[in-house]
Structure formats: C-alpha cells, structure tokens
Amino acid sequence: MLRIRIPATSANLGPGFDSLGIALKIYNDFYFKKIDRGIKVRVIDKNTGQELNIPREKNLTLTAMERLFSRTDTEFDGIEIIEEVTIPLERGLGSSATAVVAGLVGANKILDEPLTEGDILELAIAIEGHPDNVIPAFKGGLIISVMTDKGLMFKKIKVAQNLKIVMIIPEFSLDTKELRKILPGSVDLKDSIFNHSRTALLMSCFYENDWDNLIYAMEDSLHQNHRAKLIPGFKEIVQAGYKAGALGVALSGAGPSILAFFTIDGKEIGQTMVEKFQDFEIKSRYLITGPDNDGLIVET
Ligand code: HSE
C-alpha cells in the first residue's frame, strides 16, 4: 500500500498569473494498492464522508496514471486507488493538481521509478496546462515557476509561519478551462508594467518577511478583473477584507475562492468577507489555514 498526501495550492498568487503559487495546509490523500487485475477507483469526500461519483474519463488521477504508463510503455492493470478528498473541488484551490501529481507519482512508484522528478513535473504541467498549481503541490512553499526554452525551472521560497491565510470559499464553482477562455490574448504594456513591478515587490515581501507591502504587492491587472465579473461583489469583498485587517487579498487561482493574508485575526476577516458575499446573495464559508512548506509526502 502506497499513500501520497498532497497539499492544496493557491495559484496566480497576486500578480503572478501562471507563474506564482503557494501550497496550503489543506490536504488530499491518495492510496494505491496492487490487486490481481483491473483498475478500481473510489473517491471519498472527507468533509461529508460521501463517495463521489466521478466518471472515469474525468478522473485526473487515472488520466495522469495512464499518461505515465503509456510514456513508459508498460501495462496499466491491477491497481486499486482510493482518493480521500478534503480540498473543495473547482474552487481555485488546486484540487485537480493534487490528482494529477498523485497519479504521476503513484504510477512512477508502482513501476519502481523509471522517470525522474523533472520528468514528472514536466508531465504534470503538460496535463494541467500551467505550472503554478502542480509545482507547489509537489514541492510546497511559494514557488516561482519559469518556463524556459530548456523546459521548467523553479525556485522555492519557504514561507514564514507567522503569515496565515484565510480562504473565502463561495458555494458556487467555476471551471478553470472556461475561465481561461475569457482572458484576452494580449495585454497592454501598462498592465504588464503594473504586474511585473508588483511581482518584484511581492518577492521582496517574501524574502524579507515584510508583510506591510502586501497590500500593493498582491494587486493584479492581467486576469483578476476579467474573472471577477463572474464573482458577484468581488471588489467589495476585497475591500471588506482589507477593512477587517487583511494584509493582502487576491483571487485564489482562477477563482472563485478569495485568499487573504493575515498575521493576527483571521476569524474577523473571514466573517466580514463571508457577510459581504451574503450582501450579494452568495453563500460562502471561510477556512483558516497557513502555508505548507513540505509539499507532497509519500509513505509506503
Ligand atoms: N494559472 C492558472 C489559470 C491557475 O489562471 O488558469 C488555475 O488554477
């Protein structure tokens, strides 16, 4: 029996569209067991205890495993997979990235590791289409992902544990693939300057543990405004978060969840932001968490 624990992630961190992501202390667990023949899979929602009925063709763990077995020219058979899911699905918290990473790492372990970590990361990016969830899900911390002409390179920053996160999670879900389609194909130079200056500032915040500048450093002008149109009251909820003491607020991934950094009172921030969502007739809840610096854990 093989167990893989993988953290949730918040991608597009502030101005870091498709390039910055942070791992969170919320986890999905994946169990792999050899059986005589066939492929069995069960997905259990740990929050409700209920089994989820996800069609096989939509199960990303299976998709990722199939990719690795076919890449290594081996037969995909005789495996039982149990997925214990705690990370809310389709809320911008990287639950699909955990499935992809688990499938690849699980299949690679079952086959006695024919692929390197680098191969697996490249495959994970190819399946997900962007690196900013899968790399922090794998490695933990705040990850800067850079796609070079030689492939992926990344840098991990261990995040100070005095920085905490409150995640506002609305009841409705959004599909990341659809959310990519609403983005423009090109951007203005001024928007690019807006984002790259803030990305540099954000990195200085994390290297120096300087949380006072997060309010500027977490702004974005590449994707957030486009996606916010699908999230009623987004601007007002962000403002409410700052008023309640948040240090930096931004869309989590492609949304619809909203991430707020804090060091002192996350409960107050969470309650205020949930109440503001309610003003726009959207039910939501908040979850207090923190940055995970460990990434995936494999137990045999
Ligand atoms: N960078 C990705 C996107 C993250 O915005 O589409 C999705 O979680």
- pLDDT tens for residues 9-58? 999 999 999 999 999 999 999 999 999 999 999 999 999 999 999 999 99
* 47-92 per-position pLDDT tens digit: 999 999 999 999 999 999 999 999 999 998 999 999 999 999 999 9
For the entire predicted model, the pTM comes to 0.96
Measured between its terminal Cα atoms, the distance across the chain in Å is: 6
Asked if residue 178 has pLDDT above 90, the reply is: no
- Round the average pLDDT of the chain to a whole number and report it: 96
Q: Which of 99, 21, 86, 23 is nearest to 58 (CA)?
A: 99
Residues 40 and 69: their CA atoms lie apart, in Å, by 16
Q: Which residues pair with 31 in a beta bridge?
A: 3, 82
Substitution site in 10, 17, 95 for ligand 1 pocket (most atoms within 8 Å of beta carbon): 17
Asked if residue 177 has pLDDT above 90, the reply is: no
Task: Determine the atom of ligand 1 nearest the C-alpha atom of 18.
Answer: 1
Of the pLDDT bands very low, low, confident and very high (cuts 50, 70, 90), residue 176 is confident
Q: Which residues pair with 146 in a beta bridge?
A: 153
Go through the domains of the chain in sequence order and give each one's CATH number.
Answer: 2-158 (3.30.230.10), 164-289 (3.30.70.890)
Q: What is the pLDDT of residue 109?
A: 96
Which bin fits 130, alpha (ψ -120 to 50), beta or left (φ > 0)? beta
Q: Which of 116, 148, 152, 150 is nearest to 134 (CA)?
A: 152
Residues 15 and 17: their CA atoms lie apart, in Å, by 6
Task: Determine the atom of ligand 1 nearest the C-alpha atom of 92.
Answer: 8
Strands 39-45 and 79-85: parallel
Alpha-carbon torsion (285, 290, 295, 298), positive or negative: negative
Query: What's the 83 CA to ligand 1 centre distance in angstroms?
Result: 23
* 127-156 per-position pLDDT tens digit: 999 999 999 999 999 999 999 999 999 999
Residues with CB under 6 A from ligand 1: 11-12, 18, 92, 130, 132-133, 176, 180, 223, 253-254
Q: What is the pLDDT of residue 92?
A: 96
Residues 217 and 106: their CA atoms lie apart, in Å, by 37
Q: Which residues pair with 110 in a beta bridge?
A: none
Q: What is the mean pLDDT of residues 230-257?
A: 97
- Amino acid 233 reads G
Q: What is the residue with the minimal CA distance to atom 2 of ligand 1? A: 18
Query: What's the 20 CA to ligand 1 centre distance in angstroms?
Result: 10
